[in-house]
């Protein structure tokens, strides 16, 4: 139960950080949440979004690569689509479109 309470508390801090446009702090807290909730697709996608909002495209592409290589998410269409969009946005159009098909 303590882990759940910690995650809920950290989610509140993430929301406050987003409201304050402090995306770097929000990413740090999401990373902590993902250490507790390793299979959370919701938090993984939020981290990708926050990395982009914080102008961390390179880190977002790398994190998306880690996600699709992870056996938990390897068959997730949402994760694959997010990675595909990131790759297209990053100029890797051919590889990105493969994931979007």
Summarised one tens digit per residue, pLDDT across range 36-70 is 999 999 999 999 999 999 999 999 999 999 999 99
Give the predicted TM-score (pTM) of the model. Answer: 0.91
CA atoms of 1 and 8, how far apart (whole Å) = 11
Summarised one tens digit per residue, pLDDT across range 11-29 is 999 999 999 999 999 999 9
Are 99 and 80 in contact, with CB atoms under 8 Å apart? Answer: yes
Are 40 and 20 in contact, with CB atoms under 8 Å apart? Answer: no
CA atoms of 63 and 66, how far apart (whole Å) = 5
Domains with residue ranges and CATH for the chain = 2-100 (1.25.40.10)
CA atoms of 40 and 14, how far apart (whole Å) = 15
């Amino acid at each position: 139960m303590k882990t759940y309470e910690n995650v809920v508390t950290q989610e509140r801090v993430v929301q406050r950080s987003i409201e304050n446009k402090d995306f770097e702090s929000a990413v740090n807290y999401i990373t902590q949440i993902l250490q507790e909730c390793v299979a959370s697709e919701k938090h993984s996608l939020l981290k990708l979004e926050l990395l982009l909002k914080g102008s961390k495209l390179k880190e977002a592409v790398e994190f998306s690569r880690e996600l699709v290589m992870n056996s938990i998410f390897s068959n997730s269409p949402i994760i694959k689509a997010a990675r595909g969009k990131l790759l297209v946005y990053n100029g890797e159009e051919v590889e990105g479109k493969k994931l979007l098909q």
